[in-house]
Amino acid sequence: MAKVCAITNKSSQLGGGYSNRTRATQFNPTGVKRRYANLQKKKIYIPELKKSVTLTLSTKGIKTIQKNGAYATLHKAGIV
């Protein structure tokens, strides 16, 4: 299972870099760090279909489902 939100398509990103102090000195390297999205595994009941679906969602995706409804959001994302 990929670590990607089913609704917002959020996944990990590479971040970090060099500060000006690091550029000024020779022996102070900084590396690139992978930053992960806040993904949660959720079981969502869809009353229109009378069934449950388990999805990996970001917290923003969970808020979107609460605001717009499960069926409308999942239909728009192409899951249902």
> Per residue in 54-64, pLDDT tens?
999 999 999 99
What class has domain 13-77?
mainly beta
As a whole number of angstroms, the distance between CA 10 and CA 68 comes to 19
Domain-wise residue ranges, the chain: 13-77
**Model-wide pTM > 0.85:** no
Name 43's Cβ contacts closer than 8 Å, sequence gap at least 6: 52, 53, 54
Q: What is the pLDDT of residues 1-17, one digit of tens each?
A: 569 999 999 999 998 77
> What are the tokens at 44?
């969502």
Half-sphere exposure of 37 (CA within 13 A, CB side): 21
